[in-house]
Amino acid sequence: MASYRQILYHITFHTKNSEKVLHNSGNDELFKYIWGILKGKNCKLFRINGVEDHIHIICDLHPSIALANLVKDVKVASSKWIKERGLYPDFSNWAESYGAFTLSVKEKNSVIKYVMNQQEHHKKESSRDEFIRFLKENNVEFDEKYLR
């Protein structure tokens, strides 16, 4: 008997202390590396993009993978890889926290377009304000004192 599913997530995480250290020159390499991690976990990447202090990932989560484990594995492996390659000299680590929001199939394309336009979008809205907006839009309770 076959099982059918689609588990779409919009995942976002910041650099430690929201340091603006992810310079565009290395982003293609970083994004390809993260894509490889996702493929290795049987997750399908729809879009990845980011700005100086955070990244966004739109993916289908394979049901054999726990979300928290996927995010941890991506952050640990990519952090080590960034440091080994010297990709971003001022990068210290990823922040411990992350955001993960489920998507419906109907929302997928509009969120992909949003992620594609991160550089333009962040000329108008700070990363912190964006994250707070995501939390509010998804009815996630939070305490602002824990947000950087």
Give the residue extent of every domain in the chain: 14-146
pLDDT tens profile 38-78: 999 999 999 999 999 999 999 999 999 999 999 999 999 99
- In this predicted structure, the answer to whether residue 7 has a pLDDT above a threshold of 90 is yes
Q: Strand, coil or helix: what is 89?
A: coil
Q: Which CATH superfamily is domain 14-146 in?
A: Transposase IS200-like (3.30.70.1290)
pTM of the prediction? 0.93
Chain segment 12-47, per-residue pLDDT in tens: 999 999 999 999 889 999 999 999 999 999 999 999
- Phi/psi of residue 8, nearest 5 degrees: -90, 130
Name the β-bridge partners of 56. 12, 49
